Amino acid sequence: MHFSIPETESRSGDSGGSAYVAYNIHVNGVLHCRVRYSQLLGLHEQLRKEYGANVLPAFPPKKLFSLTPAEVEQRREQLEKYMQAVRQDPLLGSSETFNSFLRRAQQETQQVPTEEVSLEVLLSNGQKVLVNVLTSDQTEDVLEAVAAKLDLPDDLIGYFSLFLVREREDGAFSFVRKLQEFELPYVSVTSLRSQEYKIVLRKSYWDSAYDDDVMENRVGLNLLYAQTVSDIERGWILVTKEQHRQLKSLQEKVSKKEFLRLAQTLRHYGYLRFDACVADFPEKDCPVVVSAGNSELSLQLRLPGQQLREGSFRVTRMRCWRVTSSVPLPSGGTNSPGRGRGEVRLELAFEYLMSKDRLQWVTITSPQAIMMSICLQSMVDELMVKKSGGSIRKMLRRRVGGTLRRSDSQQAVKSPPLLESPDASRESMVKLSSKLSAVSLRGIGSPSTDASASDVHGNFAFEGIGDEDL
């Protein structure tokens, strides 16, 4: 999750009090909350009491006198690094103190009173699920409410997550981010003030072996089935005409498990597809479509005069990655207060092991770069859990009598319609080869080094690569 404090604001105090500087905290490029230095200092002191000073990153000190514009900018940069460091720390970033601070600040900034509301959550097939929640309910609360409405067992809730998406004109979903524990879903979606933004329930794991756990339950099976049919219809899962015929035959027989078993063998099953973007692989400014899944990033591309091709970047061969952002200055080149900025440009860059002794940077320019980074991190986390012999099954906290709150009116997952005939305009793809050796790779320099070391995501799964894997 990418925290930034790209700007400050001068705001008037309450009841005509003296003006103060407010820091706008952005999460994944979107305003999350607006806080004062004193509030962040209070958070720091609370964390220090709970975890000790040695665990915490450096916090910018108080000043006796008013800050100059240069000092305000310096403090902004220091606070941004502080928030990023706390969030990335496994202990501090998952603490209730840190997350509850951000939830309260989000609610106060958006000026949303605590009250009961009806919140619409979509399933992958577009089915609407209405749940009654509080505006102050955190992500876990809303996820539990949706599970209760669908009658999904509490031990399977951890296999699903809520995602913020933007519904495009063609009805397809563009994924913005996975909703986190530090935010209030109702506030997050309504503060965007656009009907395009929705909350979607989707499975949250990558390894299809975990499907077996979910498929044992009727509701879990229906959710997976509906998601898979939807992904095939969107063209996210790659299907030949013969495979399409077999799938449709299984649909007609209502053989959902057999349908999913066949789907598991298909290319891009369970992948998340992103909007079309640009990469510098295999050449600069190459139009690509990126998909994430099965411990890899897949790039579909078309070189001049060639058919559609695909290159695969295994997450176990990425030494590290980072997201960088830049904001074009307005015409004239000055960044004075009050002058508008251009649209933020986001890039995901990863250092990839192209051969046994050659690392190379690959850069993808996309508004969804942060979501791609989140997918990479979750794939690495899943690989590490599996490597250690652990389970992804989450032990959810119980807050109401030790059991999950159940809805009085439950809702069934609707069975999706039969698959339509395959789109004749979809082309088959030629794989660039798993080693990427079929492509002449240009030398790609390291991304700009203006980002601090804390912005780089080291890949612990990278260490387990042996020569036999290359």
DSSP 419-463: PPPPPTTPPP-EE--TT-TTS-PPP-PPPPTTS-GGGEEE-GGGG
> Do 7 and 25 sit in the same domain of this protein?
yes
pLDDT value at position 288? 95
CA distance 104 to 136: 8
3-state secondary structure of 304: coil
Q: What is the CA radius of gyration of the chain?
A: 24
Say what the pTM is. 0.83
Q: pLDDT for 83-126, tens place per residue?
A: 989 988 889 999 999 999 999 999 999 999 999 999 999 999 89
Q: With bands split at pLDDT 50, 70 and 90, how would you rate the model's confidence at 437?
A: very low
The secondary structure of 278-300 as a DSSP string is EE-SSSTTEEEEEEEETTEEEEE
The residue out of 41, 76, 110 marking a domain boundary is: 110
Q: Is 440 part of any domain?
A: no
Residue carrying structure tokens 């605590």: 114
Indicate the DSSP class of residue 47: H
> Do 247 and 278 sit in the same domain of this protein?
no
User: How does strand 358-365 pair with strand 456-458?
Assistant: unpaired
pLDDT value at position 415? 76
Task: Give Cα separations from 441 to 180, 255, 310, 352 (angstroms).
Answer: 37, 45, 14, 12
Q: What is the CATH number of the domain that holds 354?
A: 2.30.29.30
C-beta of residue 236 within 8 angstroms of C-beta of residue 227: no
pLDDT at position 350 over 80: yes
pLDDT value at position 448? 38
> Do 93 and 131 sit in the same domain of this protein?
no
Q: With bands split at pLDDT 50, 70 and 90, how would you rate the model's confidence at 128?
A: very high
Q: Is 411 part of any domain?
A: no
CA distance 313 to 375: 13
Q: Is 439 part of any domain?
A: no
> Do 190 and 123 sit in the same domain of this protein?
yes
Q: Is 427 part of any domain?
A: no
> Do 174 and 259 sit in the same domain of this protein?
no
Q: Is 144 part of any domain?
A: yes
pLDDT value at position 151? 96
Q: Is 318 part of any domain?
A: yes
- The token duo for 18 is 């003296």
Share of the chain above pLDDT 90, in %: 58
Domain hosting 117: range is: 113-204
> Do 74 and 118 sit in the same domain of this protein?
no
- The amino acid at residue 114 is T
pLDDT value at position 463? 54
Q: What is the mean pLDDT of the chain?
A: 82
> Do 187 and 293 sit in the same domain of this protein?
no
C-beta of residue 345 within 8 angstroms of C-beta of residue 328: yes
Q: What is the mean pLDDT of residues 167-184?
A: 89
The residue out of 88, 110, 132 marking a domain boundary is: 110
> Do 213 and 173 sit in the same domain of this protein?
no
Q: pLDDT for 264-274, tens place per residue?
A: 999 999 999 99
pLDDT at position 154 over 80: yes
Q: With bands split at pLDDT 50, 70 and 90, how would you rate the model's confidence at 27?
A: confident
> Do 377 and 394 sit in the same domain of this protein?
yes
Strand order in the sheet with 160-167: 128-134, 116-122, 197-203, 160-167, 173-178
CA distance 470 to 465: 8
pLDDT value at position 443? 25
C-beta of residue 24 within 8 angstroms of C-beta of residue 8: yes
pLDDT at position 441 over 50: no
Q: What is the mean pLDDT of residues 436-458?
A: 39
Q: What is the CATH number of the domain that holds 191?
A: 3.10.20.90
pLDDT value at position 340? 45
Q: What is the CATH number of the domain that holds 61?
A: 3.30.1520.10
pLDDT value at position 127? 94
pLDDT at position 17 over 80: no
> Do 117 and 189 sit in the same domain of this protein?
yes
Q: What is the mean pLDDT of residues 329-340?
A: 47
Give the CA diameter of the chain: 76
Q: What is the mean pLDDT of residues 196-203?
A: 96
> Do 87 and 164 sit in the same domain of this protein?
no
The residue out of 376, 401, 426 marking a domain boundary is: 401
- What are the beta bridge partners of residue 169? none
Q: Report how many domains make up the chain.
A: 4
Q: Is 371 part of any domain?
A: yes
pLDDT at position 332 over 80: no
Q: pLDDT for 30-63, tens place per residue?
A: 889 999 999 999 999 999 999 999 999 999 998 8
Q: Is 416 part of any domain?
A: no
The secondary structure of 212-268 as a DSSP string is HHHHTSHHHHHHHHHHHHHHHHHT-SB--HHHHHHHHHHHHTT-HHHHHHHHHTSBT
Cα dihedral value 342, 346, 347, 348, nearest 10: 180
pLDDT value at position 325? 78
Q: Kindly give, in sequence order, each residue whose CB lies less than 8 Å from that of residue 90, ignoring residues fewer than 6 positions away.
A: none
Instruction: Taking the CA atoms of 375, 380, 381 and 385 in sequence, report the sign of the dihedral they define.
Output: positive
Q: What is the CATH number of the domain that holds 212?
A: 1.20.80.60
> Do 303 and 381 sit in the same domain of this protein?
yes
C-beta of residue 50 within 8 angstroms of C-beta of residue 101: no
Q: pLDDT for 368-424, tens place per residue?
A: 998 999 899 999 999 988 888 777 664 333 343 344 454 556 777 777 777 776 665
